[in-house]
């Protein structure tokens, strides 16, 4: 339980003890339970406030139950699930990238003091540095040639049939794709997803809502000043937002120049966010289990089991070119110059700038005709 410091660096014995502790955890169980709790709570308004944790919370507050203070609506619950689904996806993405970075970039240079737990804990503070180093490793020739060793269990190279080999190769490709997807989530800057996660964590400086329908249509308004409902639902209409959304403010940089405040709206579809979370979590779990089995090799020590091989879907199969969100500036840059970052809509792999005709803004009543 207690360790006496023996110098500025870890000793080999200390490093081993620390990783004995770290690799005894079950991170895939954590993410699985977190995802399951969000799925099971959807549509369930009444929490158990008399037994289990609910009863313990009530007792700590000196109450017989907590329904009087835990008041929320169906809408509140749905927005909480959407926001937390976004948060768990980002948590899974960063956990996966930091584990890969520790195992392939930092730990190999640690020699006898190799400690994966310390390598993660003391990894780069700046997300951009973390991702740049991890991506450079993954895309290097050694990184591509050895990635399978970080995610497949021992003995995978001794597959007994071509079918087994085909399945393992497919799983490796799928997990590599989700690792790259995780990296992109952390550093994408045409729409700053990492900033959104920071705003959720630090002060909940966001606005989640479920009444934000935004539709693009090429049909013009009617001459009588109304707008036909069919123009918003027909073949010339395209929904930009038709699910819960998350609004946040940030001040990005563009070409090294600080910009003004920018408001961004992200589309949140809990089922998709949780599916992404699961695919990154299972990749993380496979990588963690392989590292744990190498650490405990030759010792009869219990640790997490290897998950089922994830052979589908890839990020492209799950997400396609769906809309990620939309951004637009609301103030000029601090230096008073022109805005560098125009308004636009972000898709999964592309960004489409848009020009907004503010002087031409008008309102119409939607008529069912």
Domain boundaries, the chain: 12-367
Could you report the per-residue pLDDT of 268-298, keeping only the tens digit for each?
Answer: 999 999 999 999 999 999 999 999 999 999 9
**pLDDT (0 to 100) of residue 97:** 98
CA distance 204 to 270: 18
Question: Over 60: is that where the pLDDT of 202 sits?
Answer: yes
Give the C-alpha separation, 366 to 65, whole Å: 47
Q: Check whether 42 has a pLDDT greater than 70.
A: no
Provide Rg for the chain, Cα atoms: 25
Q: Say which residue, 256 or 61, is predicted with more confidence.
A: 256
Q: Which residues contact 298 (CB under 8 A, 6 or more apart)?
A: none
Q: Is it the case that residue 114 has pLDDT exceeding 90?
A: yes
- The pLDDT mean for the chain works out to 90
Which H or E element spans position 285? Answer: helix 270-295
Residue 27 near residue 305, CB atoms below 8 Å: no
The pLDDT assigned to 254 comes to 66
Asked whether 68 and 29 are in contact (CB, 8 A), the reply is no
Cβ atoms of 343 and 260 within 8 Å: the answer is: no
Q: Is the pLDDT of residue 188 over 60?
A: yes
Task: Please tell me whether residue 247 adopts helix, strand or coil conformation.
Answer: strand
Q: Residue 2 has what pLDDT?
A: 76
Q: Is the pLDDT of residue 66 over 70?
A: no
């Amino acid at each position: 339980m207690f360790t006496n410091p023996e110098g500025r660096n870890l000793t080999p014995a200390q490093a081993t003890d620390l990783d004995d502790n770290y690799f005894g955890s079950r991170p895939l169980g954590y993410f699985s339970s977190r995802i399951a709790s969000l799925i099971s709570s959807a549509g369930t308004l009444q929490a158990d406030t008399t037994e289990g944790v609910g009863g313990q919370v009530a007792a700590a507050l000196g109450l017989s139950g907590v329904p009087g203070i835990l008041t929320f609506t169906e809408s509140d619950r749905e927005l909480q699930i959407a926001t937390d689904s976004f948060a768990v996806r980002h948590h899974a993405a960063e956990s996966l990238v930091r584990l890969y970075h520790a195992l392939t970039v930092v730990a190999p240079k640690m020699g006898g003091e190799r400690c994966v737990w310390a390598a993660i804990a003391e990894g780069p503070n700046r997300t951009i540095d973390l991702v740049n180093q991890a991506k450079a490793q993954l895309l290097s020739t050694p990184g591509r040639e050895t990635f399978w060793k970080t995610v497949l269990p021992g003995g995978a190279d001794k597959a007994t049939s071509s079918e087994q080999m085909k399945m393992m190769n497919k799983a490796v490709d799928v997990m590599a794709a989700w690792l790259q997807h995780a990296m992109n989530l952390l550093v994408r800057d045409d729409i700053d997803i990492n900033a959104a996660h920071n705003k959720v964590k630090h002060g909940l400086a966001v606005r989640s809502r479920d009444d934000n329908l935004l539709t693009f249509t090429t049909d013009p308004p009617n001459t009588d000043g109304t707008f036909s409902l069919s123009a918003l639902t027909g073949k010339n209409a395209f929904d930009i937002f038709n699910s819960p959304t998350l609004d946040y403010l940030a001040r990005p940089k563009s070409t090294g120049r600080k910009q003004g405040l920018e408001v961004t709206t992200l589309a949140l579809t809990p089922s998709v966010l949780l599916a992404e979370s699961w695919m990154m979590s299972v990749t993380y779990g496979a990588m963690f289990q392989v590292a744990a089995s190498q650490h405990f090799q030759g010792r009869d020590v219990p640790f997490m089991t290897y998950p089922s091989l994830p052979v589908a879907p890839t990020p492209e199969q799950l997400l396609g070119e769906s809309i990620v969100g939309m951004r637009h500036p609301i103030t000029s840059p601090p230096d008073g110059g022109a805005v560098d970052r125009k308004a636009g809509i972000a898709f999964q792999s592309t960004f489409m700038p848009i020009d907004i005709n503010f002087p031409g803004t008008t309102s119409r009543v939607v008529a069912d005709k």
